[in-house]
């Protein structure tokens, strides 16, 4: 490949062909559910989150429901997602902020979403892209943090620096795709300890894969 940008384009194109339907990801039907589900997905698989939210979203339908929730009861409702005490506190806090400052609605504004308890840049980017169609940046989770350096798309290991490098390589409307396809490939092939380089469609455009294949 002539340069990193060309290689990045080839990587995304191949992943799109390999995974016609990336995922699974957090299931949601409105912005509030997306915020809640993404907060719960921290240190938890999306599949498990979806099992929990199937009942959770029936019980807690509005921001006020989370604001008024009994913390101990909410903790039990989300227990299976792990770190349930912190997450319950975040959800109650988010419900309070939304109810008191935003008329119970998730605002269409990155900085406002970023101000919610338990919400980092990754979550805010995902909510803005999926709920409002605004691509404010590449969401960098543990899969993206692992894969971007392996693929030679960044030399950095810090989350925000990786995001900036990826944002220079891809167009804004591709930011969500970059996140989703890298996550999907990271789960299937480019796993943490022993990536399956021999099965990888990116082998010839991946510096790490090329190096591993020569060993």
Residue spans per domain, the chain: 4-21+138-213, 31-132
Q: Are 106 and 31 in contact (CB under 8 A)?
A: yes
The helix or strand, by DSSP H or E, that contains position 154, with its residue range, turns out to be: none
Q: What is the mean pLDDT of residues 188-200?
A: 94
Cα–Cα nearest to 30, from 57, 66, 59 = 57
Q: Quick check: is 122 catalytic?
A: yes
- The rounded percent of the chain whose pLDDT value lies above 70 is 98
Distance in angstroms (rounded) separating the CA atoms of residues 12 and 10: 6
Please determine, for residue 140, whether its predicted confidence score (pLDDT) is greater than 90.
Answer: yes
Equal fold, 4-21+138-213 vs 31-132: no
Query: 46, 77, 141, 165: which is the annotated catalytic residue?
Result: 141
Q: What is the mean pLDDT of residues 178-188?
A: 97
Query: 46, 77, 87, 122: which is the annotated catalytic residue?
Result: 122
**Farthest CA pair distance, the chain:** 59
Class of domain 4-21+138-213: mainly alpha
Q: What is the CATH superfamily name and number for domain 31-132?
A: Hypothetical protein; domain 2 (1.10.340.30)
Question: What's the gap between Cα 190 and its chain centre?
Answer: 17
Q: What is the mean pLDDT of residues 33-40?
A: 98
pLDDT band of 212, cuts 50, 70, 90: confident
Q: Quick check: is 141 catalytic?
A: yes
The helix or strand, by DSSP H or E, that contains position 168, with its residue range, turns out to be: helix 159-169
Q: What is the pTM of this model?
A: 0.94
């Amino acid at each position: 490949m002539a340069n990193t940008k060309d290689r990045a384009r080839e990587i995304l194109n191949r992943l799109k062909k390999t995974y016609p339907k990336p995922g699974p990801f957090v299931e949601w039907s409105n912005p509030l559910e997306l915020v809640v589900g993404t907060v719960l997905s921290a240190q938890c698989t999306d599949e498990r989150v979806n099992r929990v939210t199937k009942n959770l979203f029936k019980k807690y339908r509005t921001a006020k429901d989370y604001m008024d929730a009994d913390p101990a009861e909410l903790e039990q409702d989300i227990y299976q997602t792990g770190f349930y005490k912190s997450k319950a506190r975040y959800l109650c806090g988010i419900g309070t902020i939304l109810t008191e400052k935003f008329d119970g609605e998730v605002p269409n504004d990155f900085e406002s979403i970023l101000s919610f308890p338990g919400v980092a840049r990754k979550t805010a980017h995902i909510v803005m892209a999926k709920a409002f169609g605004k691509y404010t940046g590449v969401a960098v989770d543990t899969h993206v943090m692992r894969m971007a350096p392996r693929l030679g798309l960044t030399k950095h290991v810090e989350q925000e620096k990786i995001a900036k490098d990826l944002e220079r390589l891809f167009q804004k409307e591709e930011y969500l795709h970059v996140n989703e396809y890298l996550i999907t490939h990271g789960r299937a092939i480019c796993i943490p300890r022993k990536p399956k380089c021999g099965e990888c469609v990116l082998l010839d455009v991946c510096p790490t894969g090329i190096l591993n294949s020569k060993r």
